[in-house]
Structure 1
């Protein structure tokens, strides 16, 4: 079937075709996303394993023991401080009781009266308990001071141990970063190794199917794969490098399109020529040089592409007999006699409008 006679379908059919093509592109982009994520889930280097190879096991064990000892001493200090708070609360109550008894004793002396035996005993017992609490408070202070000194010593030893561990961790981190970077490059290579052949295949199919019925499918697939390739490059490569890659690819696409357009202008395909010829004949212009076709009822008229629709042609076309016609500007034959029915037909169109005889249009 000739490209010019391919049916376009109704408006609803064209809308359905465009909608399903877009849906196909989205689904393919989604599917490629699953594929890319599955490849990205390949296990990479394990930092704990790398760290275990670089760190001294005895040093790690020592650091763990120091952490345990520090936690134990901090717990003991908290217990001693809690006991001291309770003891000082009781001592404060005793101190208030003793002050009351002393006030009572001073009052008795002023009044020449002696304290009762119970009051004397309460005063003596309170003083004994108060002195015992003072001694216990001093002992707790000494214990807290001892534990604090021990904690400071363990803290210093723990800091030294952590510094030694950090010195051993530095090469482990560097090795892990190198292995991780290598793993990321491997994943990016695998993803691009899957996507780039698909992109090349879709480009080849797009080129082969540029006049095919299934061209929209090839276009949708190519755009989906191209978008996924761009996302993969943007994800794995540095933004500065991606900027150069993107600009380089854009320049390559622009140059390729420019070359294709120049080739189309120099040697356009048959369907493009046929469309241009048809539109020029409809507007009474030469398809080659765009000079007005002055024949028949248009022989003595003047028009442009905009004013053509406002022209009123005479109803009696029999007064203007058909005849051969050649463009007076470029010399291209535009109307000739059909060899089959001998009526006048369009020279540059493939079919005779009288008998339907077909010929290859001139290029």
Structure 2
């Protein structure tokens, strides 16, 4: 007799499902940290390759031009600040001169003259204004020269950058080659760790499918498989990855289809028992899906869509007809037959008699073969 598999309560099944998801996420998280540690393996250093491979004269020129550019910008900023201060002083002097000239016009109109102090202030303001004007012109000329020098430095920088780009082209090619080799090396390290785990998970998946620890195996296998796909996506070129992904998906789909075709051609006992149980419960023939018209449903008609709309037929125990064996009139399959032990009518395609509990171990397979 086959050992019965207990499903457990709804709460227990929900907890199993929840903790299975938690195990899968934690496994995926743990594998991610391991892969991050593998990524810490040092690859080629581009800056060091440039430092070694570029001519020293170009490097010295680049540093010298960078320092000279900073110096020219600082000088321009300082000169701009001096010019702003000079312009402010010139503006103040001009306001003073305008006020003194207004006083002088008023004095001329009144036929008087400015005081000696006012005359001296006007003279000093005029001299300061002219001096500031000269200084402003000098600062403008200095700014013009500094901007010309800045443009010269930038032009030299462009020429130096072009020379460095030309000289660094072989270094760039070598770096790309070394970087690609390093990426393949990292992929080999990661897949070298993940592929054996995936093979073990695949073996456990085949052995534990439907077993006690199936959910645990499914959770860990899913985490490992997803990490393998992510590693291939990160390190494999897109032209290769798409073929690998399509090939893997095709293999999985083909395997599932083959398994389903085998179930159709030679179904397992559990699969047949589930099919027969659901058919009997819905009053349909498990073989051809014809309605089981017996007892109070002898003259009724229904389909799977209209079954739920039927009102249950009340049964009067005193007038009810005795239960009789029943054969499907469509496919000729015996659906109800006399029990050999108690003489009552039992389900032909189910293993146990509902009246005496007599069990026929191979009834499901025998009925399928017929």
Alpha-carbon offset, residue 182 of structure 1: 3.0
1:158 alignment counterpart: 157
Take 2:178 and 2:209, find their aligned partners in 1: how far apart are those partners?
Answer: 45
Name structure 2 gaps, 5 residues minimum: none
Q: Is contact 2:44-2:175 (8 Å) kept?
A: yes
Q: Tell me the C-alpha RMSD between the 2 structures.
A: 4.7
Take 1:20 and 1:313, find their aligned partners in 2: how far apart are those partners?
Answer: 47
Q: Is contact 2:296-2:313 (8 Å) kept?
A: no
Alpha-carbon offset, residue 268 of structure 1: 1.0
Residue range with higher mean Cα deviation, 117-126 or 42-51: 117-126
String of CA shifts for 1:308-339, please: whole Å, max 9, x gaps.
Answer: 9845666369985878x87785576974664x
1:2 alignment counterpart: 2
**Aligned residue runs from structure 1 range 1-363, under 5 A:** 2=2, 5-87=4-86, 143-144=142-143, 147-237=146-236, 242-279=241-278, 287-288=286-287, 298=295, 301-302=298-299, 310=312, 315=317, 320=322, 329-330=331-332, 335=337, 338=340, 341=341, 343=343, 348-351=349-352, 354=356, 356=358, 359-361=361-363, 362=366, 363=369
Name structure 1 gaps, 5 residues minimum: none
Alpha-carbon offset, residue 127 of structure 1: 7.2
String of CA shifts for 1:212-246, please: whole Å, max 9, x gaps.
Answer: 22222222222333333333344444556555444
TM-score for the superposition, normalised by structure 2 = 0.71
For residues 245 and 309 of structure 1, do their structure 2 counterparts lie closer, same or farther at Cα, with a shift above 3 Å needed?
farther
Take 2:117 and 2:180, find their aligned partners in 1: how far apart are those partners?
Answer: 87
Aligned residues: 356
TM-score for the superposition, normalised by structure 1 = 0.72
Take 2:357 and 2:117, find their aligned partners in 1: how far apart are those partners?
Answer: 145
